[in-house]
Amino acid sequence: MRLLRPLLPLLLLAVFAVPASAADTTIATVAKRTQLAAGFGVVLYSAYDADAGNYRLMAFEDGRANALPVAASARPFQADVGPTRSRHAFYVYSRCGEAAGSCDLYAFNPATGREQRSKASDPKHDDLHPTYWKGSLAFVREYGTTKEPRQVVYQRSTADTRRSERLPGVPERRCDKGVCISPRADFTALELHGHSRLAQLVNSVEPSVYKVEGQPAETFRSAGTELRLLDRDLTRSRRLIRSSTGIGGQRLTGVAFGQGALFVSFSCLGDPGGCTRLKAGVYRYVYSANEKASFVWGLAADAEPIYALAADRRKLYELRDGGAPVDGVNAGLECDQESFGPPGAPRCAIVQRDPAPTFVPIPAP
């Protein structure tokens, strides 16, 4: 058995390898950026209505996109598709009004076509980024003020009337060379997989001490994005990747579980020359059902920006630049490039990659 252990990462990689050829198909175009959610052959996303000035929740299924029969939102919906205990599709999402504290959680059952406000929602605070798995709901609640918000991650059973349980997030203190700060966390996505894994995508700040010999040390607050994974029944929190935000506009933009792996997209939204440590593209973190087994990292490099990510079985869904041409000019529009073309023109493309791209083994980033 000792001789086989070094081969385990390669064996795992072979199990989860995908074909080299991937067909990319644009399934929808939208005027503004949106988060993506996928499952059971359905893709959920937000479509901006320029005339009404709000967003509709859309479902792409069987080659067609339809607006769900729910009220519009002043901000893009933050949605998720999860399985019920009976293994049927179930949608959860956050819908917002114009005022602060008006983002509430809702659930939609596609089998009945009915919407219900979640019992977990608090009318006094914004509840954001819901994610669902077989009766378990995780979400972010925002406390504090508009200028000084404080976000906390919670979990609760949809069948339970007890209070929500607080989950680990970004550590309350971070230190570098003896200098400590209390980092502010701004969560941008949550993704549940089973009852024991929760991925968190979060903007955060940590101290960085710069010392030149003979001069006083200088402390900077380094802003960045990081991917955290909660496992062991959501009791252990680990940081898997962090990227500082700089001139390259580099950041982690989307996260999704699928194919026995965790996917995260990393993009350079500014000067590509600023992205040096991490390469742009989709990273894959393959885990085993055995927590003691080795983990495997892979990368499908892609210089084109990816603004959102979702996965459904062997398919990946990405939000990219390049909506429909405006007056026959420039099919490669930047997402949310308001200065180009008429208001409401589709600038963002939702691309289906089936099968998912090939991932090259890499060391842990």
Per-residue pLDDT of the chain (365 residues; tens, 9 = 90+): 333 333 333 323 333 333 334 579 999 999 899 999 999 999 999 999 989 999 999 999 999 999 999 999 999 999 999 999 999 999 999 999 998 889 999 999 999 999 999 999 998 999 999 999 999 999 999 998 777 788 999 999 887 767 889 999 888 777 776 677 777 789 999 999 988 999 999 998 876 766 667 767 676 777 889 999 998 889 889 999 988 887 667 889 999 999 889 999 998 877 667 677 788 899 999 876 544 445 589 999 988 889 999 999 889 999 998 765 544 444 456 776 655 556 667 789 999 999 889 999 898 88
Residue 25 forms part of a structural domain:
yes
Sign, CA torsion 312/313/318/324: negative
325 within a domain of the structure (yes/no): yes
H or E segment to which residue 15 belongs: helix 8-16
336 neighbors 310 (Cβ within 8 angstroms) = no
Instruction: Centre a 10 Å sphere on the Cβ of residue 74 and count the other Cβ atoms it contains.
Output: 14
Domain ranges, residue 283: 1-30+250-365
Is residue 19 within 8 Å of 355, Cβ to Cβ? yes
DSSP 272: G
How much of the chain is in helix, strand and coil states, percent to nearest 5?
5, 50, 45
Please give the tally of structural domains in the chain. Answer: 1
Q: How many CB atoms lie within 10 A of CB 221?
A: 11
Whether residue 254 lies inside any domain: the answer is yes
**C-alpha distances out from residue 62 to 42, 56, 65, 185, Å:** 8, 19, 8, 38
List the structure tokens of 202.
Answer: 């979060």
Task: Assess if residue 313 is contained within a domain.
Answer: yes
| Structural domain includes residue 273 | yes
Instruction: State pTM to two decimals.
Output: 0.86
* Rounded distance between C-alpha atoms, residue 259 and residue 156, angstroms: 26
Q: Which residue(s) pair with 209 in the sheet?
A: 219
Separation between Cα atoms, residue 89 and residue 188, nearest integer Å? 23
Position 324 in a domain: yes
